[in-house]
Structure 1
Amino acid sequence: MAPVFSHGDLRLYLLSLLDEGPRHGYDIIQALSDRTGGTYTPSAGTIYPRLAKLEEEGLVSKSVDGRKTVYEITDAGRAEVAARTGDLEGIEAGLTDSVRLIADEVRSNVREAMKSLRADLAAATREERSTTRQTPRNDEPRTASREQMHRADAAINEFRARVRTDLRSHVARGGELAASVIDDLMASLDGVAREITRSLRR
């Protein structure tokens, strides 16, 4: 998955956020999450070292307000933001594209996982019908059904593990799940459940 910010862009974007007004660390993290539609929420370990570097360069100053450390842009920082207006516009445009790509990638992963689950369930249904037709009448039907239940459980657990891994990896890389992605997932799961119900009633 491509990073939201290219090398050096986050530094300038932090300056632009502080150019809007003083902020404490959590406020900066929240602002980045809001500006990216929740797809990028950096860790404190990402933000604070960069703020410390900006302070060393004389572009940012900090003060303590109660239990919070507040960061404020300096005149030198404002001069850099003003001088790099064109770069900021490019970052904003790239940010919009990156967020769109990340959201599309997550949706694509969910769709592929759903397709795989549908295929597994369809194969299980076909095999169940074939087994039912071929099983002698004196065999215990419940034994065959229990075997198919085990297969269904395995397919569902595999799907759950794959999707959960994809979602956790996305969040661990600094992303935040958009509500639309989970809405798509829930709608797809509901559709699969209806298909299974119709198959069982045939």
Structure 2
Amino acid sequence: MTPVFSHGDLRLYLLNLLDEGPRHGYDVMQALADRTGGTYTPSAGTIYPRLAKLEEEGLVTKSVDGRKTVYEITEAGRAEVRARASDLEGIEAGLSDSVRLIAEGVRGNVREAMKSLRADLAAARVDERAGEQTRTASDDPRGRNREQLHRADAALTEFRARVRGDLRTHVARGGELPSSVVDQLTDDLDRISREIIRALRG
């Protein structure tokens, strides 16, 4: 779910960010990306005109700090934030829902990857049993073991690359990676490891 700010909502949320403290333009854009779990990454062409409009309305002032322009909320701006506190709560609730749905999506991807890995391992066991039924006296057990080990390595490598790529992309886009997702991944890997050991021991 991608949060879509209406003109008024974005205006109010910008005031809310500045109510927390002075910020320069890039910091405002980064804060919006962080608060939305990376689902909303505004451009300079979106943010700076709105900051300029807030300045025209007397709700924000700007000053130059080195090569950065710093925006700071005025008392009139603070008064509007206080007056629209209930509207702001609704916006925050919507953003929280967005971040929650992102986390659920990551967990879903992990679960699907684990299912795929379990299916690959189950198929490998079936193939191994089928190979045992047609095995002749001249078969090389070590060769067969090396072949199955190669298949297992390939499955594990593919799984690691897929999940690692999904997680890195999610974080790179500013998304939040809750510890619960990592805990679930660790637990699932531990459980599969135990299942593999039991299967190897017969």
Q: Which bin holds the TM-score, normalised by the shorter protein?
A: 0.7 to 0.9
1:65-76 aligned within 5 A: 65=65, 69-76=69-76
Q: Secondary structure at the match of 2:138?
A: coil
1:6–1:32 distance in 2 versus 1, CA, 3 Å:
closer
Q: Which amino acid aligns with 1:190?
A: D
Residue 158 (structure 2) pairs with residue 162 (structure 1): no
RMSD: 2.9
Q: Secondary structure at the match of 1:156?
A: helix
Question: What's the offset of the Cα at 1:67?
Answer: 7.3
1:1-202 aligned within 5 A: 2-4=1-3, 6-8=5-7, 9-24=9-24, 39-40=37-38, 46=42, 51-57=47-53, 58=55, 59-65=59-65, 69-202=69-202
User: CA–CA distance in 1 between the matches of 2:135 and 2:109?
Assistant: 38
User: CA–CA distance in 1 between the matches of 2:11 and 2:107?
Assistant: 29
User: CA–CA distance in 2 between the matches of 1:89 and 1:66?
Assistant: 35
What are the ranges of 5 or more consecutive residues in structure 2 without an aligned counterpart? none
| Identity within the alignment, % | 64
Q: Which moved more, 1:97-106 or 1:5-14?
A: 5-14
Q: Secondary structure at the match of 1:6?
A: coil
1:60–1:52 distance in 2 versus 1, CA, 3 Å:
farther
Write the deviation string for residues 84-112 of structure 1: whole angstroms up to 9, x where unpaired.
Answer: 33321211221222222111111111111
**TM-score w.r.t. structure 2 length?**
0.79
1:199–1:96 distance in 2 versus 1, CA, 3 Å:
same
Contact 2:2 2:39 in 1 (8 A): no
1:48–1:71 distance in 2 versus 1, CA, 3 Å:
farther
Q: Which amino acid aligns with 1:54?
A: R
Q: Secondary structure at the match of 1:3?
A: coil
Q: Give the total of aligned pairs.
A: 197
User: CA–CA distance in 2 between the matches of 1:110 and 1:80?
Assistant: 43
Write the deviation string for residues 14-68 of structure 1: whole angstroms up to 9, x where unpaired.
Answer: 21121233345676577667766xx44976xx37555522331114323345676
Contact 2:25 2:70 in 1 (8 A): yes
Contact 2:25 2:48 in 1 (8 A): no
Q: Which amino acid aligns with 2:197?
A: T
1:49–1:63 distance in 2 versus 1, CA, 3 Å:
farther
Q: Which amino acid aligns with 1:94?
A: G
